[in-house]
Structure 1
Amino acid sequence: MIAATLESVMILDKAEQLAKAVVLSDIAEQYRKCYYALQQDSEVQTLIRQFTEMKERYEEVQRFGKYHPDYTSVSKQMRELKRAVDLHEKIAAFKKAENDLQKLLDEISVIMGAEISPAIKVPTGNPFFDAGGCGGGCGSGGSCGCKKTG
């Protein structure tokens, strides 16, 4: 059992302050605003529901590939719905806000890990951060500063 030291209590307090700062940030506020707009828009909810249903149908058709009798029509419908979802103003705004918030959280994680040790690997889900700038597979021949692989 680890006893709570004054230092660990102070670290937890600072972590809580950081979390509150993120929650109160403009980036988090924009995320909540866009999320709320999505939830309140019946057109968006219908579009998302249609996309989810079509995705299930599409996955079933994909199991058989071009041999499925509905392969062409379902594939076409799926592409059209995906495009409608991607181009919808509120969905696009939400995706941008979501990416901005994720980027902020990734940056915080990387900074915290680097402060402890440059050897710490912080999984962010972002190849730029995960690989320390570039995974070496960028195709630039190392001109970006990464280690050329291959």
Structure 2
Amino acid sequence: MVTTMTDINLLQETSQFSDLIISSDIFYRYTKTKKKVQANAEAQEMLVHFQGLKEKYDEVQRFGKYHPDFHNVTSEVREYKRKIDTHPLISDYKTAEKELENLLNEVSQILAHSVSQEIKVPTGNPFFDQAGCSGGCGSGGSCGCG
């Protein structure tokens, strides 16, 4: 493999760019809230309990509404998910995580479109996705996105 000065410059610019993201307030807030959640015994206990509920839920989903515990397990998962989502630390973490995701989606869009406007970057966010297309419709363009 031959390395050129262009390759080296590109790698240096990539490293500087990633350093900018890592030194951003959004990334700092994300890591700070993540550490708080990891250090909080109550939040960790809730997340472990929820993981067990998710395993039960996955088992029930194999049989769907015909499973004898279908309604009990699905309602228990929904209620506990609501409880987790309203926990202050976990809520802050999810907000910070979403902000970081939005930043990375925006950066991906900018990078892709600097190469070509034809590059589709699925972000899962209709604001960034092409109108009428989530980036992976699988219809071969018949939906009008391709």
Considering the TM-score relative to the shorter chain, is it more than 0.5? yes
Report which stretch shifted further, 78-87 or 16-25: 78-87
Of 16-25 and 6-15, more deviation after overlay is shown by 6-15
SS of the equivalent of 2:48 reads helix
Give the match's secondary structure for 1:129: coil
**Whole-Å Cα distance in 1 between the matches of residues 120 and 60 of structure 2?**
40
Of 41-50 and 3-12, deviating more is 3-12
The residue aligned with 1:50 is: 49
Q: Unaligned regions of 5+ residues in structure 1, if any?
A: 138-147
Show structure 2 runs of 5+ residues with no match: 135-142
| Pairs within 5 Å for 1:78-89 | 78-89=77-88
Fraction of identical pairs, as percent: 42
Distance change >3 Å, CA 89–CA 5, structure 1 → 2: same
Q: Which amino acid aligns with 1:9?
A: I
2:36 counterpart SS class: helix
Give the residue type in structure 1 aligned to 2:69.
D
**Number of residues of Structure 1 aligned to a counterpart in Structure 2:** 136
TM-score (norm 2): 0.82
Q: RMSD between aligned alpha carbons?
A: 2.0
TM-score normalised by the chain length of structure 1: 0.80
1:61 aligned partner, one-letter code: V
Instruction: Kindly provide the CA deviation profile for residues 52-82 of structure 1, in whole angstroms up to 9, marking residues without a partner as x.
Output: 1011112212223333222232222112111
What aligned pairs does 1:123-134 form with structure 2 within 5 A after superposition? Answer: 123-131=122-130, 134=131
